[in-house]
Amino acid sequence: MRIEDGKRAYKDAEIPEELHSMVEGLIKADRKKRTSNIEGQKNIEDHKASENYDEKNMISISEKRRKHFMLKRTAAAAAAVLVLFTAGVNTNEAFAKTAASIPVIGELAKVLTVRSYHGNDGDFNINMEVPGIETSGAEGSSITDSEFTDRINAEIKKISDEYTEQAKHEFEEYKKAFFETGGTEEEWNNRQMDITIDYDIKYQENPILSLELTTAKGWVAASEERHYYNLDLSSDRRLSLKDVLGDDWKNICNTEVDRQIKEQISSDDSLSYFGYGDNELTAEKFTSVDENTGFYINSDKKVVLVFPEYSIAPGYMGIREFVVGNALLS
Amino acid sequence: MIKTDEKYELVVSCITENQDSLYRLALSYTKDRQSALDVVQNTVLRALESYERLRNSASVKPWLFKIAVNESNRYMAKNKREIPSEPSELPEEAYIEKAYEKGEGNAVCEAVMHLPEDMKTVVILRYFEDMSLKEVAMATDTALNTVKSRLYAAHRRLEKMLKREVEA
């Protein structure tokens, strides 16, 4: 007897007649909603072109858009509130053994999801994949204990926890203010805050690891932050821009960023940076990278600088990245 | 913009193609028709709402099933109906005996439906919906080896329930 033998009986289950019309109806309604949203977006684009487009404006627009969207959500979906744990905190060995599909950095370390959580938690829609680095202490490695990666892991955990706490706090404050200033339940309409924590392995080649941690929240306005861990696991240290670009690192970065900004704004006039072009006199321009400038190493072994939202360009430009040159990796 | 539209169409066609499968999966949890339809409805709504989060177009099917599994779990938790899963909790072996009369296939299917939820889901996706191990891992949000060990455990359990050998 084979498990597949059950397939036919399984597929024989009667499909209710109304299934297909229901699915078709849902798709149809969604398409309609989508079209009207796209039109709404166009209006915003026009608005953007015709008025001085500042941060305040942007927030009020996204609030309006979100409200519009929320109102159209079905009651069934909006009312569903539940906590779903897909996995607890996994620090035990058993988990490490089962997680064989995860990337391995040479034989030195693995990056794995130590905490995974996806679901609705009251006012929050949370999507969380928290990474952790696990060293194997393989032969030939200089790693005698995992104190270094423990410290990194603790930092990642701390950032994730604090971000989530902070985001929740902000949203609760906002909610409180909303009702205190006369907002009604109907207007509030079960709106939720999206909280996302995720990671991406940018580069991994024994013994170098470049890991990105992203924290994001979305409510009346969306924002995103990124943290980078560029590690040399053979010597247990974090790499600096000087390590990967040499002594001339500041000059290399500054020249490239300046050149690329000029190139970008001359080829696309929807792009804008503080202190360049039309903003020349109104905002302080990018001057120099420093030890705290975020960066990662991409799969082509190039160094990529990352500037947070609002740091060198208006908020609508989001996070800006610049490829500045080859990483000097032995 | 174009890329987003493509993603949307991809999700829509995946929903349309797999709606029967989504219903069957939901039914394996809820055991009743109306609730299964509700679960499918929520699955479709959620998929259409969050299609932008789909990262890779090749993984649209496991992504959709992942939503369905989550929605099924959500439904079950909300309605807290105990579905007996331990062999000792099963209402004797009556179901399976009866299913035998209709052929071995029915007996296997019936037994699968009485597996613990996490085992049942991987068996359905792997053997009844023909998904690859990797896709099952994505759909259930677990590591590949967890899928393998659940399938293995499901085998042992099925053999016990059916009182005979079951091949993979």
For range A275-304, the mean pLDDT: 87
- Backbone Cα Rg of chain A: 24
Q: Could you tell me the CA-to-CA distances from B3 to A225, A268, B51, B55, B57 in Å, in that order?
A: 24, 20, 12, 11, 10
Q: What is the pLDDT of residues A150-183, one digit of tens each?
A: 899 999 999 999 999 999 998 888 888 888 888 8
Q: Collapsing DSSP states into helix, strand and coil, what is residue A305?
A: strand
Contact A23 B19 (CB under 8 A): yes
Contact A18 B111 (CB under 8 A): no
Class for the domain spanning A82-239: alpha beta
Is A29 in CB contact (< 8 Å) with chain B? no
Q: Which position has the higher pLDDT, A141 or A310?
A: A310
Element (H, E) at A118: strand A109-121
- C-beta neighbour count of A223 within 10 angstroms: 16
Closest CA to B51 of B7, B116, B109: B7
Residue B63, φ and ψ in degrees, nearest 5: -60, -45
Dist CA B124 CA B145 (whole Å): 17
Dist CA A109 CA A229 (whole Å): 14
Contact B144 A100 (CB under 8 A): yes
Element (H, E) at B154: helix B144-162
Contact B112 A6 (CB under 8 A): yes
* Torsion sign, CA atoms B155, B158, B164, B168: negative
Residue of chain B nearest A100, judged by CA positions: B145
Please list the pLDDT of chain B residue by residue as tens digits (168 residues). 347 788 888 999 999 999 999 999 999 998 888 889 999 999 999 899 888 888 777 789 999 999 999 999 888 887 765 555 555 444 444 455 555 556 777 888 888 998 888 899 999 999 999 999 999 998 998 888 889 989 988 888 888 888 766 665
Nearest by CB to A98, from B23, B33, B149: name it.
Answer: B149
pLDDT of residue B83: 52
Asked whether A11 and B18 are in contact (CB, 8 A), the reply is no
Nearest by CB to B15, from A27, A82, A116: name it.
Answer: A27
Q: Which residues of A touch B152 (CB under 8 A)?
A: none
Q: What's chain A's average pLDDT?
A: 75
Nearest by CB to B137, from A10, A16, A101: name it.
Answer: A101
Dist CA B10 CA B63 (whole Å): 12
**Structural domain spans, chain B:** 1-81, 85-168
> Is A145's pLDDT higher than 60?
no
Is A49 in CB contact (< 8 Å) with chain B? no
Q: What is the pLDDT of residues A102-144, one digit of tens each?
A: 444 445 667 888 888 888 878 888 888 899 887 765 444 444 4
Q: Which residues of A touch B49 (CB under 8 A)?
A: 73, 77
- The CA angle A110-A115-A116, to the nearest 5 degrees, is 110
Q: Which residues of A touch B40 (CB under 8 A)?
A: 19, 22-23
- Helices then strands, counting H and E runs in chain B, come out as 8, 0
Dist CA B95 CA B77 (whole Å): 25
Nearest by CB to B141, from A2, A74, A86: name it.
Answer: A86
Fold category of B85-168 in CATH: Arc Repressor Mutant, subunit A (1.10.10)
Is A270 in CB contact (< 8 Å) with chain B? no
Contact A2 B167 (CB under 8 A): yes
Contact A9 B127 (CB under 8 A): no
* Architecture of the domain whose range is A240-330: Alpha-Beta Complex (3.90)
Asked whether B159 and B165 are in contact (CB, 8 A), the reply is yes
Q: Which residues of A touch B127 (CB under 8 A)?
A: 3-4, 6-7
Closest CA to A91 of A121, A56, A130, A126: A130
Query: ipTM score here?
Result: 0.83
The pTM of the full predicted model, rounded to 2 decimals, is 0.47
**Structural domain spans, chain A:** 3-79, 82-239, 240-330
Residue of chain A nearest B106, judged by CA positions: A9
Q: Collapsing DSSP states into helix, strand and coil, what is residue A199?
A: strand
Dist CA A130 CA A116 (whole Å): 6
Contact A3 B149 (CB under 8 A): no
Nearest by CB to B105, from A6, A15, A116: name it.
Answer: A6
Residue of chain B nearest A16, judged by CA positions: B33
What DSSP state is assigned to residue A284? Answer: P
Residues in CB range of A59: below 8 A, 6 or more apart? A220, A221
Q: Which position has the higher pLDDT, B149 or A67?
A: B149
pLDDT of residue A258: 94
CA distance A19 to chain B (A): 7
- C-beta neighbour count of B131 within 10 angstroms: 21
pLDDT of residue A118: 83
For the record, the structure tokens of A100 come out as 């064989």
Dist CA A215 CA A223 (whole Å): 9
pLDDT of residue A137: 54
Contact B145 A19 (CB under 8 A): no
Contact A1 B104 (CB under 8 A): yes
Q: What is the pLDDT of residues A187-196, one digit of tens each?
A: 787 788 889 9
Q: Which residues of A touch B38 (CB under 8 A)?
A: 76
For the record, the structure tokens of A109 come out as 């370390």
Nearest by CB to B24, from A4, A10, A84: name it.
Answer: A10
Strands A193-205 and A124-135: parallel
Closest CA to A3 of B102, B115, B27: B115
Nearest by CB to B41, from A4, A6, A26: name it.
Answer: A26
Q: Which position has the higher pLDDT, A221 or A148?
A: A148
CA distance A319 to chain B (A): 18
Domain B1-81: give its CATH code.
Answer: 1.10.1740.10
For the record, the structure tokens of B157 come out as 């359990």
